[in-house]
Amino acid sequence: MPQKRLLPFILNISFAKQIFSGYQINSRPRYHKKNKMKRGYFFMAQDNFSTYGDYPKPKKSKTSQDITYSSFWAQLPSLLLHNVFDLLSNEDRCNASLVCKHWRQNSFHPKWWTKITFKIEENNLEKARFMNYTFGKIVADARIVINSLSLECMEEFIHLLRLLSDNNNLRSLYLEPTHCRFDVPYKCINSNEDDPWGIMSLLLPCLPNLVKFSIGCIEDLSYFIEDILKHLDPNKVTHLGLASVKDDPVNYQYCCFDPELLAPFNKLEVLSIDYDVLSDHLLRSLDSAKQLQRLVVHLHAVPQGMVPPTNQSWLTFRHMHPNCELRLTAIHTFKDIDNLHETVLREQMPLSHIKLFFCEKVNLELIQNLTNYSETLRSITLIDSQSEDGNSWSFTKPIFDQSPDPFVLAAWLCKRLEEFVMYGYKYKEENLVAIGRLRGEKLKKLEMAESDIIFSQMDGEESALTDIPVRMQKPWKPVKLSDLHPVISNPDDGDSDEYLLPIVLADLY
């Protein structure tokens, strides 16, 4: 905030009485050694209240004249500045920090920087280094957005973890990578080492104080879940993200851990895990988590010989956790997609969200079975890359087939349905209009590509572009081709990780 804008703000009489109460301030103070403290004067040379972490102290002026006649604003005591800054918004506080070096230094107090998003990307490494150096040892709530396939970004990420491992204020740590794996240093390409970057040795010291933690769906970290659970304090943790996204969903190493390690976590509210570890035993281990509100399960494949939870186990789980929602996310499950309605779905599941990402085809029986969750289902997401093969026309039936569309049926029977997102599959305009009419203003989110909608040519029918906004009582239009993520419009133009990771990681918030 420029000085001219701050002058009337600070000199306002009523504001000054509130802030400057107890201080005697003159624009040209006279310093007397004997009574300087009685008069309430503060010397900048003795003002250690403004120095935090490793941020440098401002240099002293070299001339006595500069000290005597320097700007009044640069002489304000730190304690007083803090009282002023406490009343400002984050944006105004950042503007105020531009007034002078002293104000900028005081603006870096930990109480105003409890929540930081560290963005470590190739185009902002210099800013990332400044953020890491300045806030790494004082932040309480850290989100790390990182390009995990860049060696330079990984090196800066390691440096940040070193700072965080010495941070006693840290209470929340979420990793948000661009991809589900870390790039491996060239010297370690042929190594059998599971953690070539030494990330776990830096993460483990952070864990005992954490209340919220997520591995960011990074497959490399999912193999250390047992170590992670042993180092976390089960009496503190409320949010725990242990689910992953597999780089190769057909051939990957199953992650196994003892479900009893979850039993002491009695304050859990949100938990994400991979389907590989889901079992009757694991559901029973969560009995002590009375406040559990959300269970997120990532499904990549159905392991051969796996015994999934029974209907009775889910019924008991619902009884123990009446307010808990199950969010089932299938990612690249093209190998087992045809049998998911038999192998995975159970009628007693408290299923609230189902997401199908890049499974390359549709299991119509799975979609039809969603009406079994009429009391709990809130969201349906079906995402694939656009194509002209037969699978993309799965929902366009011949005119003589009179069976109802499965999504229209879900919109009719599922009382809580509020989100419907579908990309990569052709869909009739009249069915889209029907969904809008059935859900009305209860439908909070409706997304579909304009190029996927088969617009009706019949006279007298309502257009989706005019009818749906009226039913939802807010503006609506389909997504244009130019606004689609590259991997949606063409599977060869992007990486699916870049699209789906931000969506699946949002389940933890």
Residue 478: Cβ-neighbour burial (10 angstroms; 0-12, 13-18, 19+): buried
Place of tokens 């009406």: 371
Q: What residues contact 476, with CB distance under 8 A and at least 6 apart?
A: 446, 468, 469
Sign of CA dihedral 116, 119, 120, 124: negative
User: What is the SS3 assignment for 34?
Assistant: coil
**Distant-in-sequence, close-in-space partners of 488: CB < 8 Å, separation ≥ 6:** 383, 385, 386, 423, 424, 449, 494, 499
What pLDDT score was predicted for residue 403? 78
| The total number of residues written for the chain in this structure | 509
The residue ranges of every structural domain in the chain are 3-81, 113-237
Provide the pLDDT for residue 79: 85
Q: List CB contacts of 128: < 8 A, sequence separation 6 or more.
A: 118, 119, 120, 121, 153, 156
Residue matched to tokens 């950042």: 94
DSSP H/E element including 65: helix 64-69
Determine the pLDDT at residue 191. Answer: 53
Nearest to 370 by CA among 360, 359, 382: 382
The residues facing 120 across adjacent strands are 146
What is the pLDDT at residue 331? 95
Give the closest residue to 363 by CA, choosing from 387, 388, 342. 342
Structure tokens, 93: 């506080």
The first and second tokens of residue 501, run together, are: 């990771």
pLDDT reported for residue 175: 96
As a whole number of angstroms, the distance between CA 377 and CA 415 comes to 8
Helix (H) or strand (E) holding 59: none
Strand, helix or coil for residue 141 = strand
**Residue 175 to residue 178: CA distance in whole angstroms:** 10
Report the relative pairing of strands 453-454 and 427-428 from DSSP bridges: parallel
Distance of CA 266 to the CA centre of its chain: 23
- The CA–CA distances, whole Å, from 82 to 11, 23, 76, 86, 479 equal 16, 14, 10, 6, 47
Beta bridge partners of 383: 357, 423
> What is the predicted pLDDT for the residue at 80?
84
Q: Where are the alpha helices (DSSP H) in 70-224?
A: 78-85, 90-96, 101-106, 125-135, 151-165, 199-203, 219-222
pLDDT given for residue 193 in this prediction? 62
pLDDT given for residue 44 in this prediction? 38
CB 378 within 8 A of CB 418: yes
Asked if 77 contacts 46 with a C-beta cutoff of 8 angstroms, the reply is: no
Q: What would the pLDDT profile of 47-74 be if each residue is shown by its tens digit?
A: 444 444 444 444 444 444 444 445 577 7
Within its chain, how far is the Cα of 42 from the centroid? 44
Residue 71's pLDDT is what?
59
Given a contact cutoff of 8 angstroms between Cβ atoms, the answer to whether 173 and 212 are in contact is yes
Encoded amino acid at 81, one letter: L
User: Residue 56: what pLDDT?
Assistant: 47
Beta bridge partners of 173: 142, 213
The two counts, helices (H) then strands (E), for the chain are 20, 14
Give the pLDDT of residue 196.
67
Contact 443, 418 (CB under 8 A): yes
CA gap 350, 354 in Å, rounded: 11
- Which parts of the chain sit beneath pLDDT 50? 1-4, 6-69, 187, 189-190, 192, 400
Helices (H), 111-267: 125-135, 151-165, 199-203, 219-222, 225-231
